[in-house]
Structures are given as C-alpha cells and as structure tokens.
Amino acid sequence: MSEGRPEGMTADSWQEWPHNRWAYQHIDEVLRTVRIPHGSTVLELAEGAPLEVEGLDAELGALSTDGLIVLRGREVVLERYLNGMTAETPHLLQSVTKSICSAVLSPFVAGGLIDVRSPIGAYVPELRGSAYDDALVQHALDMTVAVAYDETYDDPDSDVNEHDRASGWKAPRGGGAGSIPEFLATLQKNGEHGRRWHYCSANTDVLAWVLESVTGTRFTDLWAAFWPRLGAEHDALMTVDVDGFSLASGGGCVTLRDLARFGRLFLEGGRGATGDQIVPGEWVDDVRWGVSPGVDWSELPETFQAHGSYRDQFWRPGDGHGCFFGWGIYGQFVWVNPTTDVVVAKLSTQHTADDVLVAHHNHALLDRLSTLAAAAS
C-alpha cells in the first residue's frame, strides 16, 4: 500500500500531483467504477534472464514511476514497483485506455457491424447536428475529426475540463453537461474532417458510443468479453459517469502485467491466451502500417520525429523499429517494439500532465529499454 489517502485531496485535485500518487492506485475510492473480471486462463509470463540497466532506479524516480515491466517475447526480464504499487494494483491508464478501446472495437469492424468509412451520425442518432454527424469512424480513430475541442489540461474553462466534469472526474459547476453523452453532443465542427490531426479525447468516447449503439451492449461488457480471452490475470476497472457511461478515453485501470499482456497481444498477431484471434490480423497491421493520406500532422507533440503519426488510437514515433504505443497523461505507457519483439509498460504519477521534456525522456527510455532487452537476450 502507498502511504495512505492524502490530506486535502478533493474531487478536483485527485488527478494532479501530488494527490495522483495515491489516487491512481485507488480509483474506486475516488470515482464510480465498473469491475471487468479476469478469466480462468492467464497468458503465462515466464521469468527471463534479468535485464540490467545502469542508473535505472534514479531515472525511474525522476520520472515518478509507479511500475515498470519489460517483456522479451513472453519473458519478464525487468519488473519494478514503486510508490506502494504492487503486482495486484490496478493503476489508472489515462489515455492508454484509448488503445484498449481500439482493440475492443476491432472485431466489430472486421465482422462488418461497423464500417470505418461510414459517418458516425449513421450509428449514433443523438450525435446528429454535432461535429460527429458527418465525421467518419476512421476520423475518430485517427484523431482527424474537425472538432472545436481544446485539450488544455490546466485551463479550467477548456473543453477537456468540461469533459472531466461531465464524466464525474471533477466536481460539477452549474450549467454544464451532466453526463458524457450529453457533453459529446454539444461539440461542434470547425473545419473539414480528415485534414488535420487534432488530439481530442472526446473522439474515443464517441467510438465507445458507436460500439454500444451497434451492439446494444455496454462498453464495459464488451471489455469484459475481451479481457479473459486476452489472458488477463487481474480484474480491470473502468470509471463511469452518473449514468454508467464509460470514459473510454481515459478511465481504464489495469495491473502492470496485464498492461504488458495487452501490448504482447499485438506481437502475437492479435491472438489471445487461448490462441483465438481476438483482434483481427488486419487491425494489427493497420495499427502498424495504416496511412492517413494528406493529413496535417503539425499538432503532433514535439517529441515526435519527422515521421511520427497516430493511427487507430495508437501513437507511432516513426522510428526505424516500427514501434507503436499507447500513451496517457501523467506518464502511462505501453510501448510495443515489433522489431525486437519487446513490450515495455510503464505507469507513473508525474508532476505534470504532458510536459514536453518529461515526455521526451519517457519515450527515450522506453525506446532504449525495448532495444536493450533484445540485445541482452
């Protein structure tokens, strides 16, 4: 256990440092949650020859790390828990949840229930008249919806903070939307879809809504169908709003090893613990190789190299290894290196949501570990 619930933590402060150090490991005490049960088949991870990395502990401390694991193939070669986190602790993923949403959604695309070239308004009538009416599902997947949405974390009047209040992640103010769907329906179009990459968390919640609409099933039930097939060892949690709607853009909580297993799934061609195809092979390929022609990437974070991009709710640094990863604010990562067959998962509670230098440091560390792990084998 960590040092205990912080004094003075409020409904508005838990997400930020230093309260996040405790809260991200105790989300059910802070928010409404739905439990996603694990199953009886666990994707077994063997113990591999330990990876020694000089100076790692100081680096992990500087990056406010709560947990770090490195998988080479299905072998654990490095595993650290700090700040009271244990192997059994579900830790908030923030936007790494988006990548899980992508995986949960993928079979419904392959199965034909969702056409990524169809407008979202065709699936969710409640979004007609909003920015999403004529945006295609693929636009939402790739963050190229032209939507007026300001994802500035430290401005209380920004859209992302209004989104937080609608989700129950922050205390309500008078007059705001009372639920996630109500909030999503207020968002307006501000250009041509598919032209400009613009990171917008609302897009993922819209994807979850599409998924719920076509399946008639709650997102958490769909995740619950996926989780045992992946071979997860522990229950996951999902935060929900007052009406039980999932925050698919950021509300997932999983243990460190289960996050690594999730990354591993993409190196197993989308096959889960039982060998079943739980993410279609074409989806895995699209996450890795899919292109969004003509998109203006100028809003990508500076930490990205010249060829960085984003696809299907995954980040792609555009490096020589063909890496891709899930990324959440305050330091959450699942980094997949297909060249070295290595997955690195890191959960943290940083001082700041998205400081560019800290992001660069994290990316460099994850890249380095995913390379070192292969070299040491």
Contact residues for its own copies, defined by CB under 8 A: 4-5, 9-11, 28-35, 171, 218, 240, 242-244
For residue 375, give both structure tokens.
């070299």
Cα 314 to chain center, whole Å?
8
Residue from 95, 309, 348, 370 carrying the catalytic annotation: 95
Nearer to its own copies, 59 or 221 (CB): 221
Residue 103: CA count within 13 A, CB half-sphere? 30
Neighbours of 305 (CB within 10 A): 12
| Residue 158 annotated in active site | no
Nearest distance, CB of residue 21 and its own copies, angstroms? 15
Nearest distance, CB of residue 171 and its own copies, angstroms? 8
Q: Which residues pair with 19 in a beta bridge?
A: none
Three-state SS at 310 = strand
Tell the burial category of 357 from Cβ atoms under 10 Å away from its Cβ (0-12, 13-18, 19+): exposed
User: What single DSSP character describes residue 88?
Assistant: T
Nearest distance, CB of residue 81 and its own copies, angstroms? 18
Nearest distance, CB of residue 225 and its own copies, angstroms? 13
Nearer to its own copies, 19 or 72 (CB): 19
Nearest distance, CB of residue 214 and its own copies, angstroms? 17
Nearer to its own copies, 49 or 242 (CB): 242
- Give dist(CA 281, CA 163) in Å, integer: 34
Nearer to its own copies, 10 or 274 (CB): 10
For residue 29, give both structure tokens.
């005490």
Nearer to its own copies, 138 or 220 (CB): 220
Nearest distance, CB of residue 30 and its own copies, angstroms? 6
Please confirm whether the linkage preceding 338 is cis (ω < 30° from 0): no
Q: How many helices (H) and strands (E) does the chain have?
A: 12, 12
Nearer to its own copies, 226 or 283 (CB): 226
Compute the Cα dihedral for 231, 235, 237, 238 and give only its sign: positive
Please confirm whether the linkage preceding 317 is cis (ω < 30° from 0): no
Burial 215-227 (b: 16+ CB within 10 A, else e): beebbbebbbbbb
Q: Are 147 and 188 in contact (CB under 8 A)?
A: yes
Residues identified as active-site: 95
